[in-house]
Amino acid sequence: MFKRFPDAIFGEGVMVVGEDRFYPGKRLFIDHRAYLNCAGGLWNGYRGYIRLGDNVEIGPYCVLWGAGGITIGSNVHIGAHVSISAHEARQIPPSKTDTFTPLEFDFAPVIIEDHVLICSGTVIVPGVKIGHHAMIGGGSVVTKDIPPYALAAGCPARVLRSNGPDVAGSTLAVDSAGGWDPLNLSGSGPE
């Protein structure tokens, strides 16, 4: 099934629905039991897509619903059990009969820029943009845009601090290439 993506590593039980609307970058790793629905289904006219940049890691048991479009930049890590949806049910329409009435949906793209770390258990709702070098704390529910270099957490997620290079007193950890290093949280920077 995944021979079309030679630069990607897929764990056991990974499911990609709408493979023709799946655009992975190079050096992609999708862990066990992740589910990526790139185009929705009959209920939305099979619209949508999932675009992934280079060096993207998607943890186990993640679910991405791309009916409204999901774009994930390069060098992004998504922890386990993260849910990203680009559509949501607006309402259950009233029915005058006992027959099933289809749900009505809203669609809005989700954009995750480069060098973002999304910790385990996070939920990202439609229409959200997460700026480059941002970090989202575990178990957060992201309901609005997160600016670049922000550390955000909570339900709903709110910005706790900014670790941008221009923030006075920043504890920004900088790697040797001058970029943010999310693995060096001590803030000591390069030596």
| Distance, CA of 30 to CA of 74 (rounded, Å) | 14
Identify whether 182 is part of a domain.
no
| Distances in whole angstroms, Cα of residue 82 to Cα of each of 21, 127, 141 | 21, 16, 10
Identify whether 96 is part of a domain.
no
Domain total of the chain: 1
Predicted local confidence at residue 4, as pLDDT: 80
Alpha-carbon torsion 122, 126, 127, 132, what sign? positive
Label residues 48-78 b or e (16+ Cβ within 10 Å = b).
Answer: bbbbbbebbbbbbbbbbbbbbbbbbbbbbbb
Predicted local confidence at residue 178, as pLDDT: 47
What's the whole-model pTM score? 0.79
Predicted local confidence at residue 6, as pLDDT: 82
Identify whether 123 is part of a domain.
yes
Identify whether 188 is part of a domain.
no
Identify whether 15 is part of a domain.
yes
Predicted local confidence at residue 135, as pLDDT: 97
Identify whether 176 is part of a domain.
no
The CATH number of the domain holding residue 36 is 2.160.10.10
Q: What is the pLDDT tens value at each position of the chain, 191 positions in all?
A: 567 888 888 889 999 888 888 888 888 899 988 999 887 666 666 678 999 999 999 999 999 999 899 999 999 999 999 999 998 877 666 666 666 666 778 889 999 999 999 999 999 999 999 999 999 999 999 999 999 999 999 999 999 999 877 655 454 444 444 454 544 444 444 43
Identify whether 191 is part of a domain.
no
Q: Which of 32, 77, 81, 87 is catalytic?
A: 87
Identify whether 135 is part of a domain.
yes
Q: Is 132 annotated in the active site? A: no
- The range of the structural domain enclosing residue 158 comes to 8-91+103-162
Predicted local confidence at residue 94, as pLDDT: 66
Predicted local confidence at residue 140, as pLDDT: 98
